[in-house]
Structure 1
Amino acid sequence: MTLFGKLCLSAALSLGLTGAASAADFTMKIAAGAAPDGNVCKNYLDVWAEEVKEKSGGRIDYQMFCGGTLAKMGDAVNRVSQGVADVAWDLPGFYGARFAGLTAIGVPGLYTDPEPASGALWNAYAAGDLGTIDEVKVLWVQAVNNNSFFMAKPLEDYTNLNGTKMGMGSQIRAKVLEALNGVPIAIKVPEYYQAMSKGAVDGLMTTAGAVFDFGIEELVKEIYDAPFGGGLTFVVMNKDFYNSLPDDLKAVIDETTGYDRSKWASAYLRDEEHGTVTAAGINIRTATDAEVEALQPAITSGRTAFLASAPENPGFVAAIEAQLAKE
């Protein structure tokens, strides 16, 4: 090779012109308030993002921003709407009545298995039966496992909490706890560890994901499982980002989200949490039939509180129940 040829080859290599992959046409900034090493940012959001990258032929890439660095829980939807993040995971329950149609899935007694519940919820939302969300594009929903009690100290009787202080994050859970003579303490998930470690709460009414993502399992001595109702996370996208994509890349987003992704999301979380709790070796008590019967007034109290809190709520629950019957 001549000296000129060698110089040309060197220049090509330095400029990446020898067949190396070109830069992506679009890069999604994906935000989550969850811990970087937890089950939201590892093996969940990244799995979807890698699938989008592959199906788009590398034309859509992504960057992950976890731990609240770009968007905190309860504010991620706002950050996506503002264009600070392109995609974000968040908890609709943090927004009060803003997403009441979706959060209706958390009413106690609606489901035991979150996988079909997610499918039903998505179909009810897609049909327009749960209200409209104009500020962002909802990519998928994730019904989570029913809430449990995660206790710093075991209780002899969970059907009467007798003043036990319980951290939680929704009106429905508060009503259930009050009906059990407990004291609900409204705190956000990132505050759970400090509240429990300092004795501000005696336990948490939440799911395993919220506990294990933040290392709270080291404070938990017992888990009490009962049909207390589930909850919800969702993933949303900035509408301007979506609309900026050409039709073939919009199709990639559409293909990897929606009904099937919603069911996949809940199945993943259900199975992952089961394995995590089992491996942790924490004592688990499951409510007996007699205890479930004793808990029914409290469970009904949570459902009644939601139905009565807004005139549209009974319709939301009815729509979800109709879709659950089809699942």
Structure 2
Amino acid sequence: MKLQSIATACLGLAAGALLFGTSAQAQDVRLRFAAPVPERHWILQNDLFPWAKKLEAESGGRLAIDIQPVGVFGTPDKYLELVESGVIDAAWFVPGYAPGQYPLTTAVELPFLFDTAAHASTTFWTLYEDGLLGDEYADVKPLALWMNVPYIIMTKNHPVKELSDLDGLKLRASGRMVGSVLEAIGATGVGMPASEMAEAIRLGVLNGTAFSHEAVEPFGIADQITDFNEIPVGSITHIVIMNKDKYESLPDDLKALIDENSGLVLSEQLGRSYDTADAHAREKYAGNDQYTTNEPSEALMSDLETAVAPVVESWKEEARAAGGDPDAILARIKELNGE
């Protein structure tokens, strides 16, 4: 009887251990995700919220991503630090908030490289996968690397037809590389929050901005801009990153699920969304007599490329100092561009 009781107890412990193990395997995981934009932003509504819902559905409810809009988890410039420290699990971060931390990544922000955000984004991810961006993402788990559409120069009552038309113009610059390009072509790049841009243009503090069509209305400059000067001055990068330890702590099937729905496919999707939104905005403004679209001549484009050549060389020096191979990076970009 005693032996039977011991055996029964052992079986009970084994069954309990099995049940506990099953429970642990099926344990719900909730990831805290910070976004730098309001909840109504189209990237959240059209892409990231559906992405999170898809992961939750395909995991049978075991994986939930709690995406919170700007302001909930602090300011966007702190998201990288919060992810790396584990205060939050994931975030949409703009590398421009961390100047000097991503010198190799900055290659994709150079002007005249891309025509669409989708292609720029797939190139960005491919450079990372190829190992050409060094260890810039070694402390996090990248889930997507993508880009805006190429920015153009938008001005108020000041068409740009030749290089000299840019002399002395005060234009808002959205990042360090765009600012460097604006300075090189004769303008003055002014750093300021996008939320202050409309008032600055209205007061004459700015003559315009380097921006994309899709952002004109959300940032309130539709009534201030008159000229869309189709001069590409580069773009800015975005990244979706996850705390590395948090990712590694997940069950293998959940890690695989995240990987299947992230990476190249998510990067391209986010870039394509920028292209779609920008195309819709372009159609809207093309039918409005308030605006004039000025296409650059071949002579102007040649002058612009000559003017920004020192910016490219300066980036190469920074990339070499960071242990990268700038020539290999640019060669790979050209290869992916079909050149």
Change (3 A) 1:192 1:32: farther
Residue in 2 that maps onto 1:150: 154
Structure 2 letter corresponding to 1:81: E
Give the secondary structure class of the aligned counterpart of 1:30: strand
User: Once superposed, what is the RMSD of the aligned Cα atoms?
Assistant: 2.6
The equivalent of 1:14 in structure 2 is: none
CA contact (8 A) 2:56 2:64 kept: yes
In structure 1, how many angstroms separate the alpha carbons of the residues matched to 2:335 and 2:319?
Answer: 24
- Choose from 88, 91, 107 the match for 1:104: 107
CA distance in 1, matches of 2:107, 2:305: 19
Structure 1 residue 289: deviation in Å? 2.2
Aligned with 1:303 (options 295, 312, 332):
312
Does the aligned pair in 2 maintain the 1:35–1:213 contact within 8 Å? no
1:175 corresponds to 2:185: no
Deviation at 1:108, TM superposition (A): 1.6
The CA distance in 2 between the partners of 1:183 and 1:323, in whole Å, is 29
- 1:93 paired with 2:96, answer yes
Distance 1:122 1:149, change over 3 A: same
The SS at the match of 1:64 is: strand
1:10 corresponds to = none
How far apart, CA to CA, are the structure 2 residues paired with 1:55 and 1:251? 11
Deviation larger for 93-102 or 205-214: 205-214
Q: Is the contact between residue 37 and residue 70 of structure 2 (CA under 8 Å) also seen in structure 1? A: yes
1:96 aligned counterpart, secondary structure: coil
User: Which digits, 9 at most, give the CA deviation of each residue in 1:185-206, with x for residues without a partner?
Assistant: 1224444344434433221113
Partner of 1:288: 297
Aligned to 1:169, what secondary structure does the other structure show?
A: coil
Aligned pair in 2 of structure 1 residues 169, 301: CA closer, same or farther (>3 Å)?
A: farther
2:332 aligned with 1:322: yes
Matched, 1:249 2:254: yes
* SS of residue paired to 1:181: coil
Deviation string for 1:7-50 (max 9, x for gaps)?
xxxxxxxxxxxxxxxx9812222212223322332212212212
Superposition pairs of residues 183-262 of structure 1, within 5 angstroms: 183-262=188-267
Aligned residues of 2:155 and 2:226 also touching (Cα < 8 A): yes
Task: Tell me, yes or no, if the aligned pair for 2:43 and 2:273 is still in contact at 8 Å.
Answer: no
Computing the radius of gyration from Cα coordinates, the structure with the larger value is 2
1:105–1:317 Cα contact (<8 Å) kept: no
Partner of 1:20: none
Deviates more, 1:298-307 or 1:125-134: 298-307
Q: Report the counterpart of residue 163 of structure 2 in structure 1.
A: 159
How far apart, CA to CA, are the structure 1 residues paired with 2:43 and 2:54?
16
Report if aligned partners of 2:43, 2:270 keep a CA contact under 8 Å in 1. Answer: no
1:34 to 1:192, Cα distance in 2 relative to 1, 3 A: farther
Report the 3-state secondary structure (helix = DSSP H, G, I; strand = E; otherwise coil) of the residue aligned with 1:216. coil
Alpha-carbon separation, structure 2, partners of 1:188 and 1:152: 19
1:294 alignment partner AA: D
Question: 1:120, 1:320 within 8 Å by CA — same for their partners in 2?
Answer: no
Asked if structure 2 preserves the Cα contact closer than 8 Å seen for 1:172 and 1:303, the reply is no
Which ranges in structure 2 are unaligned for 5 or more consecutive residues? 1-25
Given the two structures, how large is their TM-score scaled by the length of structure 1? 0.83
3-state SS in 1 of match to 2:103: helix
Query: If the length of structure 2 is used for normalisation, what is the TM-score?
Result: 0.80
Distance in 2, matches of 1:298 and 1:35, equals 37
Query: What is the one-letter code of the residue matched to 1:244?
Result: S
Q: After the TM superposition, which segments of 4 or more aligned residues of structure 1 sit over 4 Å from their partners? A: none
Q: State the distance in 1 between where 2:66 and 2:27 align.
A: 12
- How far the C-alpha of 1:183 sits from its partner, in A, is 1.4
What pairs up with 1:56-135 in 2 under 5 angstroms? 56-132=59-135, 133-135=137-139
Find the aligned partners of 1:31 and 1:215 in 2 and give their Cα distance. Answer: 24
Are the counterparts in 2 of residues 94 and 169 from structure 1 also a CA contact under 8 Å? no
Distance in 1 (CA, whole Å) between partners of 2:79 and 2:202 is 27
Supply the distance in 2 between the matched residues of 1:316 and 1:27 (Cα, whole angstroms): 39
Deviations 1:68-109 (A, max 9, x none): 332433322112223333221121122112012222101122
Q: Is the 8 A contact 2:161 2:300 kept in 1?
A: no
Q: SS where residue 137 of structure 1 aligns?
A: strand
The alignment covers a number of residue pairs equal to 305
Which deviates the most, 70-79 or 263-272? 70-79
**2:279 equivalent among 266, 269, 274:** 274
Mapped partners of 1:268, 1:183: distance in 2: 30
Supply the distance in 2 between the matched residues of 1:219 and 1:263 (Cα, whole angstroms): 32
Q: Does 1:139 align with 2:143?
A: yes
Closer, same or farther: CA 120–157 of 1 in aligned 2, 3 Å: closer
